[in-house]
Amino acid sequence: MEEISVWIRNERKSRKLSQAKFAKLIGLRQYILSAWELGKTNPSETELESIKSALTLFDNEVKNGNTEKILKRKTPKNVSFSLAETNFMNGDKKENNRPYSPYSDMLLSFETLPTSGLNAISLFSGCGGFSLGFHWAGVDIVGYVELVDSARDIYQENFPNSKCLGTNIREITDEAINEWKKQFGHINILFGGPPCQGFSLAGKRDKFDPRNELYKEFVRVASILKPDVILMENVRLITSMKAPDNSPITDLILRDFDEAGYRCKFQPINAQDYGVPQSRERVFFIGVRKDFSQKGIVFPEKTHGFDEGLPLFGSTLKNYATFRDATFDLESLESGEMSHDEWHFAVKHPDHVIQMLKDVPEGGSAHDNPNPKLRPTSGYNTTYKRLIWDEPSSTISTNFGMISGSRNVHPTNTRSLTIREALRCQSFPDTFKLCGTLGEIRTAIGNAVPPLLGKTLAEHLINSFFMESIKSQEVYKNSQPVS
């Protein structure tokens, strides 16, 4: 018999079946079929016989004119695969009737972490990605500020014990901020991500955009609350943005924090370097109140990388978390299809778009289609482009549901990403609650700081500036900063 991987692939293609449909036909998860076709693993003898039986069954149904009937069948009869796969397909399910991946289980395990005894307030909180990371690190988020109603609703669903301290931060008075100190006592950490449209490529990069100065509201709150440490997030391109006087905007930010009493540094960080299955570059500012600590400000060391199977000498990096890691247990869906998970459903795309993309391999774009007639008439080769299974996903933006967006196409299914896939790539657990319209939900997810990255940064701040006091059982929130 010819090489097994080639035989499986040829048998599938001879029947004009996509990998997704073939996997469904034989009752197998698509990621395993992909591994077989790539020669990464081989089916057992029993599994090979099951494939042959499924193919015979399919051919008989085709002869009888029942092609559509058998393809709609969830799990073909008389097909037997490994015990682990059978359990995974049919038995190992949680209360929502869907199996969890080890990646998802890891995220859920953070819910049982002990508390640190520290508290924090979140500004520009969005739907709560940053806050969830701090919660996982054991920090009590006592209050938050968020302007957008729909994002605030999601936040409140997931953090019912965190108090909304206001909506428009520009309208919150100094007197009201002073009241927060009376209500919560001393605040250990202030964190958040001011809106970035004025800085990002997605916006107009207008140095006069008033949203560029929202960081000043963050500085104002810090100057009044005097938290021990601040953590602020923004887009990577802020490092090349100019202020109205043509000075670097980052220089102004550092100067303003210095005048507010904080030593501050910034550094670009990519979420994929810390276990998030997504390439997402952002800039983070860490500030420490000058009279609180004289320790140097450093950023966390990378924990993940890509070694192409040959680890560098002495390297302790883990392999990047990939799109496959995050989503392999989710049901295989084509355009317009639904699943048992209410947030894992595929947008229905136009037939001509499906035609452009259906034969494009993972990592490829419809702009590269061998048939010029099937190429988009406009756009860049990053649009209508498939992700790659064994790499982190591209940045999850607010338009991840658009198949024409940048790298929004599933590696093998011809459709854009589902909400569940986007949540997983952003490192939100499956227990995270959503509400609002689909557009509002997608916007909230795309704007969020990945919780897993937030957890890493929060733990880094705790270990860098608070651990000695935690170990000695001192209570920082009762300390009194210099006025």
Sign of the dihedral through C-alpha 370, 372, 377, 378: positive
The alpha carbon of residue 399 and the mean position of all alpha carbons in its chain are separated, in whole angstroms, by 14
Is 196 part of the annotated catalytic residue set? yes
Amino acid at 44: S
3-state secondary structure of 274: helix
* Helix, strand, coil percentages in the chain from 3-state DSSP, rounded to 5: 40, 10, 45
Give the number of other Cβ atoms within 10 Å of residue 245's Cβ: 7
CB 177 within 8 A of CB 123: no
The two three-digit tokens of residue 269, written as one number: 């960080």
**Phi-psi category of 427—alpha, beta or left, where left has phi over 0 and alpha has psi -120 to 50?**
left
How far is the CA of 95 from the CAs of 9, 49, 92, 222, 242, in angstroms?
36, 33, 10, 43, 51
- CB within 8 A of 369, min separation 6: which ones? 356, 359, 360, 375
The two three-digit tokens of residue 252, written as one number: 């102004």
Write out the H or E segment, with its range, that includes residue 183.
helix 174-184
CB 79 within 8 A of CB 53: yes
The two three-digit tokens of residue 423, written as one number: 């949540």
Read off the DSSP letter of residue 384: T
Task: Out of 127, 196, 264, 425, pick the active-site residue.
Answer: 196
Cβ density class 270-284: b for 16+ within 10 Å, e for less: bbbbbbbbbbbebbb
The two three-digit tokens of residue 204, written as one number: 């107009």
Write out the H or E segment, with its range, that includes residue 171.
none
Block residue for tokens 């709609």:
72
Amino acid at 285: F
The alpha carbon of residue 68 and the mean position of all alpha carbons in its chain are separated, in whole angstroms, by 36
| 398 φ/ψ angles, rounded to the nearest 5 degrees | -70, -15
Q: Which of 390, 439, 382, 443 is nearest to 409 (CA)?
A: 382
Spatial distance between the Cα atoms of 243 and 392, rounded to a whole number of angstroms: 34
Sign of the dihedral through C-alpha 252, 253, 257, 263: negative
3-state secondary structure of 143: strand
- Active site positions, annotated: 196
